[in-house]
Chains A and B, each alone.
Chain A
Amino acid sequence: MAEQQPVPLLELRGIDKSFGAVQALKDVQFDVSAGEVVALVGDNGAGKSTLIKVIAGIHPIDAGTILWEGRPVSLNGPKDASALGIATVYQDLALCDNLDVVANLFLGRETTAGLGPAAVLDEVSMERRAIETLRRLSVKIPSVRTPIAALSGGQRQSVAVARSVLWQNKVVLLDEPTAALGVAQTKEVLDLVRRLRDAGHGVVIISHNLADVFEVADRITVLRLGRYVGTFEAATVDHEEIVGYMTGALATAATTTPTGSATSAPTTEPST
C-alpha cells in the first residue's frame, strides 16, 4: 500500500469554537492517520457535528491549530477542505434520486470530450471509471445505469461514499452512515468502511450506534458537552466504559495520547 505516514493526515489541536454565548467546542483534540478508522462519539449536543463541520471547512475555528500532513492549514470554506482532500458524506447523502449512479458519482464534475460549447459528456469514460471504482470497493448494485431512486438505503450510502473517494480524497468523513439502515445494509456499509481503510484512506465516522463503532473503529474519540474527554484504542476499552465517558459517569480519565495505528510514537505534545 501507500507509504506509512509518520505524522497523522489530519490533526486538530486545542480547537475552540463558539456560537454567540454558546461554547460548542472547547480545547478539542482530534487526529486521523492514513489507513485507520477513527470514530467520533458523544451524546446529543456533545459537539460532534460542530467538529465535523470544522473539519469540512464550514465553521471557521476561533482558536487552535489544524495540521494537514504536519503542516498548519486554515480551513475557511468547504472548498479549502476539498482542495486538501477531505470529503464529507452528510447524513442526507446529497444524491439526485432521478439520476443514475454514474451521473451521481460525477455530479458537478462531469468528464467531457470536445471543446467549449461543443463539449459533450464523455459517458463512456465516466461509466468505466464508475464501474472500476465500485468494483474496487466491492459495492453491489444492479447496474451503474440504475437511477438512485431504485436503490436500497445501503446502496445509496455506498454510492455516496464511493463518490467521496472517486476524487483521490485522503480523509473521508461519514456522518451517521448506518442510521436508518437494516442489519444487512449496515454490514454492507461497515464492510465498505473497512475497505476504505485498507485502501489507505483516513476514515472518520460519527455514530450513535456503539455496536457499529466497535465493529470498525481503530480508535474512538469521545466528546462531552463540547469538551474533549479522550481518545481510546478500540481494542482496550469496552462498551460500558465508552458510555461512561459519554455520559460523564466516568470522570475524564487518563487522556490517552492519540496514537495512529500505523505508528507507535506519541504524536502530540503539550502545546508548545
Chain B
Amino acid sequence: MTSTLEHDPRVLGEEPGFGGVARGTLRRLRSGDLGQLPVVLGIIAIWTIFGLTTPNHSFINPGNLVNLSLQMAAIGTIAVGVVFVLLLGEIDLTVGVVSGLAAAVMAVANTKAGLPGPAAVGLGLLVGVAIGLIHGFWTTRFRIPSFVVTLAGLIGWQGALLFVLGDTGTINMTDGFVVGLAGTFFKGILGYGIGALFVLYLAVAGIVGRRRRLKGGLAAAPAALVWTRVIIIGLCTAAAIFYLDRERGLPLSLVFLVGLVVVMDYIVSRTRFGRMIYAVGGNAEAALRSGIPVDRVRLAVFVLASLFAAWGGMLAASRLLAVNQSSGSGVELLNSIAAAVIGGASLFGGRGTIWAALLGILVIQSISNGMDLLAFPSPVKLMVTGAVLLAAVTIDALARRGRASTGR
C-alpha cells in the first residue's frame, strides 16, 4: 500500500494543478453550479452604477459606507437564520415580527423593569429561543408545514409585540450597553487589527486545508491560487476599513454580522450538524434512512432562525435608538428572505451557503441606499427591488436547468 493515491483519469478526486482547477471550475459552471459568481458580479455592477450616478459620487463616500454597514447589520443577521431555514427547504415567516418582539421585550425589561442592558439583551435572545422551539415543535410533532405554522406565528407574535409594549407606543433606548451595540466603532489600529484577524483566519483555513489534502495524497488547489484568493480578499478588506476609518470607523455591528457569518459557515460546512442540514434539505427520506435525527435537526434550525431574528431585532433597536409598535413588521421579513435567495440559497432546500446572507444583504441594502441617494420615490424603489429579486431567482432557475441537462 502506498500512502498516496496517484491520479487516475477514470475515478477522480479533483485534478491537480492550475489546469485541473480550471477544468473543474469550468465543469461546475457548465453544469449550472454558478456558486457566488452572479451575485458578486451583481454587486460590482450595482456599486459601479451608483458610484457613477449619485450626486458627487456620494454612494461611495466614507460616511455613506458606514451608513450602509449599519443598515446591513440587522437584516443581514436575520438573513443568516433565514438561510438555515431555506437550507432545510422550510420557511419562517415570523423572522420580522420575532425581531420586533424580542427587541420590545428587551426594551421593556430594560427601561421599565430596570434590568441591566446585558441581561435585557439576554432575555431577548431567550425569547427567540423559546419561539423557535415552539415553531420547531409544531412543525415536527404535528407535521404541519412550516409555512402555516409560521403564518400563524406571524399574526400571533405581532399581537404579543403589541401586548408587551402596552399603551406605551414607542420606547426610547438610552441604556449605554444597548446603544453601544450599533453605536460602537473601531478606529485606527483596532479596526485594521480586526480586519487582519479576519483575513488571517481565511488564509490559515485555506493553507491548512490545502496542506491536509496534500498530506492525504489528494489533489489540492495550487498554492498560488490560495494565496491569490487571500490577497484579493485582504485588499478588499483593507480598502473597506480604510474608507470606514476616514469617517466613524469600523462598526461593531458589522463585526458582529461578519463574525456570525464566519462561525455559522464553519458549522454548516465543516461539522456533522451542518452536513445533516444539507441532507435533510436535499432528501429528508434518505436522511432518515441514514440514521439522521431529522426532526431534531429541524427543531434546532427553527431555534437558530428565531434566535438570529431576535439578535437582529435588538441590533436594529440599538441603531434606531427606539422600539415601537411597527418594529419588525416593515421590510425585515421580505428583505431578509430576498437577501438569502439573492445570495444563492434555494427555496427548495439543500443548496446555498451562509455567505449568501452577507452577499444578498449587501445587494439589497446597496440598491436601497443608492436609490435613496438618488431620491427615488418609494414606489420605484419597491419595484426595482422586486425586479432584482426576480432576476436573481431566474438566473438560479436557468442554472438549475443547465445542471439537469448536463447530467451524464
Contacts and interface: CB of A to CB of B under 8 A. Distances in A.
A92 B15 CA distance: 31
Given A97-B282, A98-B350, A124-B218, A150 B403 contact: yes
Given A99-B279, A128-B216, A119 B271 contact: yes
Contacts of B290: 94, 107-109
A62 B239 CA distance: 74
A237 B302 CA distance: 59
B143 interface: no
A134 B33 contact: no
Interface in A82-99: 92-99
A128 B214 CA distance: 11
Contact of B287 (A108, A149, A150, A155): A108
Interface centre among B278, B279, B403, by most chain A C-beta atoms within 10 angstroms, is B279
Contacts of B275: 99, 103, 107, 110, 121
A143 interface: yes
Interface centre among A96, A120, A139, A144, by most chain B C-beta atoms within 10 angstroms, is A96
Contacts of A150: 31, 403, 406-408
A93 B290 CA distance: 11
Contacts of A120: 270-271
Contacts of A132: 5
Contacts of A134: 11
B24 interface: yes
A125 B279 contact: no
- Decide if the interface of chain B is mainly helix, strand, loop or mixed: loop
B372 interface: no
B217 A128 contact: yes
A150 B28 CA distance: 10
A144 B31 CA distance: 15
Contact of B408 (A93, A131, A147, A152): A152
B12 interface: yes
A31 B271 CA distance: 41
A121 B287 contact: no
A112 B276 CA distance: 13
B5 A149 contact: no
Contacts of B10: 135, 138, 140
B272 interface: yes
* Size class of the A contact interface (CB-based, 8 Å): 35 or more
A194 to B, nearest CB: 17
A218 interface: no
A128 B5 contact: yes
Given A96-B286, A99-B282, A124-B218, A145 B272 contact: no
B217 A151 contact: no
A12 to B, nearest CB: 23
B57 interface: no
B131 interface: no
B12 A144 contact: yes
Interface in B322-375: 349-351
Contacts of A112: 271-272
B11 A124 contact: no
A143 B212 contact: no
Given A96-B282, A98-B282, A141 B407 contact: no
A94 B283 contact: yes
Contacts of B13: 127, 131, 143-145
Given A124-B218, A145-B13, A96 B404 contact: no
Contacts of A139: 11
Contact of B279 (A92, A107, A119, A152): A107
Interface string B250-278: 00000000000000000000111001001
B205 to A, nearest CB: 11
B289 interface: yes
A20 interface: no
Given A94-B285, A149-B403, 14 more contacts: A95-B283, A95-B286, A98-B282, A103-B275, A107-B279, A120-B271, A124-B213, A127-B218, A128-B218, A131-B218, A139-B11, A143-B14, A144-B11, A145-B13
Interface of A: 92-99, 103, 107-110, 112, 119-121, 124-125, 127-128, 131-132, 134-135, 138-145, 147, 149-152, 155
